[in-house]
């Protein structure tokens, strides 16, 4: 078995560039929600020194001095283009596992001349969808990831690296710093370095497996095995239903008012419950949290988390909003400027199982129907048209800032790109 990992280059930036070709050679950054910090950077932006996760206000000056272009995040656009990329991958490989919005593993077992195959795939994606990608091949996920990382680093590779054959492992892996190995983050790589493990190759060759497992847990041991070509992380994990669903946002302007906080929470419950129903689940636990701005230490700080277990599982948005608002009442303290709030739904069951069980009192069938109607309506006419009055009707100070948002070119008729 051999795997490929396809990874879109600076995906969000590439999506924005697709509709503004003049930006192809300019530094581009896409910002997180609320225009908070950098989450995607073009090569040119990286060269200017913009760091991943760096707050916008720290590099804003580059817009003036170096013609840096910034965008607010536009997830309808990114999700749609991601879907197009995945469709093309499905056409090229017998099976794929979509790993994230911009990455997928491919089963490439039996394909010879992988580098040629990879090059063709890259060109095809560029031509058909317009998104540049890098590709790595290997016998395990960790090795395919490593190959992909090497492909990004080396110009010579032209975006494709093949580590399926053991004979190339030493050359490749010894050029890969340990912190670039998939699954080894900051904390673990520091510990690795104390053991003298500086590269992926060092970890592969480290003899004391027991010690690796002791310090880095089962996962650390599995990563070492995968570097040696022993498969631990299976391909095509079926996409399982989520075990919890969260929805939270940082506010555009902080709020002190309990009513405003409740409105925001009602919004988050609404979209979390929609996701809950979409995966066919019901939930029996709700958590609400809110916090002040930790970056403003001169202000009084306060965070609350309140969790409630429900008497019966539910998928009813209105029921969940009621509970969530009670939780706000419990946790809320006056005199703080709340900057972020959120909701977590957890303790899930299958909604179908539940309906068959007449002994478990749960939502009424009428409520299920109502939710279906709302979901269908939103699917057809757009999200957020029907909502509980608890979400509020007036202007919302807490709404996200998004000053640099591009149009939804591919998912909204009114925002189609027009070329003159």
Partner DNA sequence: TCTGGGGTCCTAGGACCC
Q: Does 170 bind DNA (CB under 7 A)?
A: no
Q: Applying CB under 7 A, which part among 133-141, 336-344, 354-362, 371-379 lies near DNA?
A: 336-344
**What is the nearest approach in angstroms of DNA to the Cβ of residue 22?**
27
Q: Applying CB under 7 A, which part among 33-41, 64-72, 106-114, 168-176 lies near DNA?
A: 33-41
Name residue, tokens 């607010």: 72
Q: Which of 275, 367, 402, 405 binds DNA (CB under 7 A)?
A: 275
Q: Which of 248, 281, 292, 314 binds DNA (CB under 7 A)?
A: 248
Q: Does 164 bind DNA (CB under 7 A)?
A: no
Cα end-to-end distance, the chain, whole Å: 50
Long-range contacts (CB closer than 8 Å, 24 or more residues apart) made by 187-196: 188/216, 188/220, 191/215, 191/216, 192/216
**What is the nearest approach in angstroms of DNA to the Cβ of residue 274?**
11
- Going by their DSSP bridges, the two strands 160-162 and 133-138 should be labelled as parallel
Q: Does 39 bind DNA (CB under 7 A)?
A: yes
d(CA 414, CA 256): 37
Query: Judged by CB, which is closer to DNA: 74, or 250?
Result: 250
DSSP 8-state class, residue 194: H
| Radius of gyration of the CA atoms of the chain, in A | 24
Q: Does 217 bind DNA (CB under 7 A)?
A: yes
How many residues sit close enough to DNA to count as binding (CB under 7 A)? Answer: 47
Q: Does 167 bind DNA (CB under 7 A)?
A: no
Q: Which of 140, 250, 314, 325 binds DNA (CB under 7 A)?
A: 250
Phi, psi of 274 (to 5 degrees): -60, -45
Q: Which of 243, 361, 413, 414 binds DNA (CB under 7 A)?
A: 243
Q: Does 244 bind DNA (CB under 7 A)?
A: yes
Q: How far is CA 346 from CA 273, 307, 361, in A?
A: 11, 10, 19
Residues from 91 through 150 that contact DNA (CB under 7 A): 99-103, 145
286 bridge partner residues: 308, 345
d(CA 359, CA 183): 45
Nearest CA among 290, 285, 275, 262 for reference residue 389: 262
Query: Judged by CB, which is closer to DNA: 166, or 403?
Result: 403
Question: How many CA within 13 A on the CB side of residue 56?
Answer: 23
Query: Judged by CB, which is closer to DNA: 48, or 101?
Result: 101
Residues from 174 through 193 that contact DNA (CB under 7 A): 181-189
**What is the nearest approach in angstroms of DNA to the Cβ of residue 356?**
22
Q: What is the DSSP string of 243-296?
A: SEEEEEEEEEEEE--HHHHHHHHHHHHHHHHHHHHHTTEEEEEEEEEEEE-TT-
Q: Which of 69, 204, 262, 340 binds DNA (CB under 7 A)?
A: 340
Query: Judged by CB, which is closer to DNA: 183, or 392?
Result: 183
**What is the nearest approach in angstroms of DNA to the Cβ of residue 339?**
7
Q: Which tokens is 38 given?
A: 């950098």
Q: Does 419 bind DNA (CB under 7 A)?
A: no
**What is the nearest approach in angstroms of DNA to the Cβ of residue 304?**
13
Question: Which residues of the chain form contacts with DNA (CB under 7 A)?
Answer: 32-34, 36-37, 39, 53, 55-57, 99-103, 145, 181-189, 217-219, 240, 242-250, 254, 275, 293, 295-296, 339-340, 342, 400
């Amino acid at each position: 078995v051999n795997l490929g990992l396809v990874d879109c280059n600076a995906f969000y930036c590439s999506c924005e560039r697709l509709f503004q070709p003049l930006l192809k050679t300019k530094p581009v950054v896409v910002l997180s929600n609320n225009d908070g910090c950098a989450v995607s950077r073009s090569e040119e932006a990286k060269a200017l020194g913009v760091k991943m996760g760096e707050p916008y206000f720290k590099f804003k000056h580059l817009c003036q001095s170096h013609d840096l272009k910034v965008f607010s995040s536009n997830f309808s656009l990114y999700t749609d283009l991601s879907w197009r990329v995945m469709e093309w991958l499905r056409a090229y490989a017998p099976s794929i596992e979509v790993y994230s919005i911009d990455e997928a593993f491919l089963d490439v077992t039996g394909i010879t001349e992988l580098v040629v195959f990879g090059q063709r795939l890259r060109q095809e994606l560029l031509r058909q969808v317009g998104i540049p990608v890098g590709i790595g091949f290997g016998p395990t996920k960790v090795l395919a990831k490593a190959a992909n990382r090497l492909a990004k680093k080396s110009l010579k590779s032209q975006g494709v690296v093949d580590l399926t054959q053991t004979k190339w492992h030493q050359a490749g892996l010894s050029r890969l710093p340990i912190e670039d190995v998939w699954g080894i983050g900051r904390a673990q790589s520091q510990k690795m370095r104390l053991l003298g493990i500086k590269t992926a190759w060092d970890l592969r060759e480290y003899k004391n497996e027991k010690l690796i497992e002791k310090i880095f847990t089962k996962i650390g041991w599995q990563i070492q095995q995968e570097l040696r070509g022993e498969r631990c992380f299976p391909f095509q994990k079926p996409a399982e239903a989520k075990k919890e669903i969260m929805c939270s946002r940082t506010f555009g302007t902080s709020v002190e008012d309990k009513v405003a906080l409740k409105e925001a929470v009602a919004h988050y419950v609404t979209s979390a419950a929609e996701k809950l129903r979409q995966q066919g689940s019901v939930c029996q636990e709700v958590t609400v949290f809110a916090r002040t701005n930790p970056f403003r230490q001169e202000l009084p700080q306060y965070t609350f988390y309140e969790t409630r277990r429900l008497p019966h599982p539910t998928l009813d948005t209105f029921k969940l909003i009621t509970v969530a608002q009670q939780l706000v009442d419990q946790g809320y303290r006056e005199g703080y400027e709340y900057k972020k709030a959120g909701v977590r739904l957890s303790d899930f069951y299958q909604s179908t199982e539940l309906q068959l069980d007449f002994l478990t009192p749960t939502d009424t069938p009428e409520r299920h129907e109502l939710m279906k109607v709302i979901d269908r309506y939103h699917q057809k006419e757009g999200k957020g048209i029907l909502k509980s009055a608890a979400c509020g009707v007036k202007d919302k100070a807490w709404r996200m800032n998004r000053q640099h948002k591009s149009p939804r070119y591919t998912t909204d008729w009114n925002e189609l790109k027009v070329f003159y």
